[in-house]
Amino acid sequence: MNSNEKKGIFISFEGGEGCGKSTQIKILYKYLLSYGLDVELIREPGSTHLGEKIRNILLNIKDLDICAESELLLYEAARAQIVKEKIIPALESGKVVLCDRYIDSSYAYQGYGRGLNLDIIDKLNAFACKNIIPDKTIYLRVTTNIGLFRATGSNLNDADRIESEGLQFHSKVSEGFEKKAQQENHRFVIIDTAEEKFDTQLKIFESLQALFPQIEPPSIDKINDIVALIKQEKNDR
């Protein structure tokens, strides 16, 4: 399958630490489900057996020495598995795929953050993702130090391996996202996240409206209900 043959809709979400991506993607997921759409929610790295194991190595094991090149290859390995096992079958069967991070994270984190060669990253991304490119990429822009503080609080002990990198690293990551968003502005939608959850979700939905002409934009009540449901599900876990 190449990207022209896919029947489903593919949307990725990107952004630096603490940009609110995971909450927003869940709101959109539940909203689309409520319209009866067949939606698959995927996170990178993870979402497959192999991917979750790689995720554990990449994020949770803190005393492991992982050089930048190995880090990149591990993210790409997790990605190759997700594309083959989840994304391609879902798109072929006409589903909506929402992906929490994808190729642009490698460009921003390993390219700009770690300083690896950007052309090599583009090539490895193309190899791992079999040229399955999102129809739209929602880039949630956040001021780096605010996002980092949101993600880690003042206690860096709980931060994962990537979050624990300093402000300088994360500022470069943001620069990487900005650059990619500029380069591929037909695919990227940039949304500033300084506002209320509701406004951000509304902007996200509006930017995707052309992909879902049959669906009305969500009301504030609907979004609040979904946010309450997500909180409830988190508490029940």
Query: CB of residue 214 vs ligand TYD: minimum separation in angstroms?
Result: 30
Q: For residues 108 and 78, is the Cβ–Cβ distance under 8 A?
A: no
Using rule CB under 6 A, residue 75 touches ligand TYD: yes
Total residues at interface with ligand TYD (CB under 6 A): 14
Using CB under 6 A, pick the residue from 37, 50, 59, 66 that binds ligand TYD.
59
**Phi and psi (nearest 5°) for 12?**
-110, 155
Using CB under 6 A, pick the residue from 12, 24, 48, 106 that binds ligand TYD.
106
CA distance 14 to 124: 18
Angle at which helices 118-129 and 68-82 cross, to 10°: 20
Interface stretch with ligand TYD, choices 23-31, 41-49, 82-90, 217-225 (CB under 6 A): 41-49
**Phi and psi (nearest 5°) for 23?**
-65, -45
CA distance 23 to 237: 16
Using CB under 6 A, pick the residue from 31, 40, 44, 135 that binds ligand TYD.
44
Give the footprint of ligand TYD on residues 196-215 (CB under 6 A).
Answer: none
Using rule CB under 6 A, residue 177 touches ligand TYD: no
Give the footprint of ligand TYD on residues 84-103 (CB under 6 A).
Answer: 101
Using rule CB under 6 A, residue 73 touches ligand TYD: no
**C-beta of 159 vs 215, nearer to ligand TYD:** 159
Query: CB of residue 178 vs ligand TYD: minimum separation in angstroms?
Result: 16
Interface stretch with ligand TYD, choices 39-47, 185-193, 210-218, 229-237 (CB under 6 A): 39-47
Phi-psi region of 96 (alpha: psi -120 to 50; beta: other; left: phi over 0): beta
CA distance 45 to 101: 8
Neighbours of 235 (CB within 10 A): 7
Using CB under 6 A, pick the residue from 74, 146, 162, 190 that binds ligand TYD.
162
Indicate the SS3 state at residue 191. Answer: strand
Residue of this chain nearest to ligand TYD (CB atom): 109
CA distance 104 to 181: 9
Using rule CB under 6 A, residue 109 touches ligand TYD: yes
Phi-psi region of 220 (alpha: psi -120 to 50; beta: other; left: phi over 0): alpha
Q: What does the binding site for ligand TYD look like in residue numbers (CB under 6 A)?
A: 17, 22, 43-45, 59, 75, 101, 105-106, 109-110, 162-163
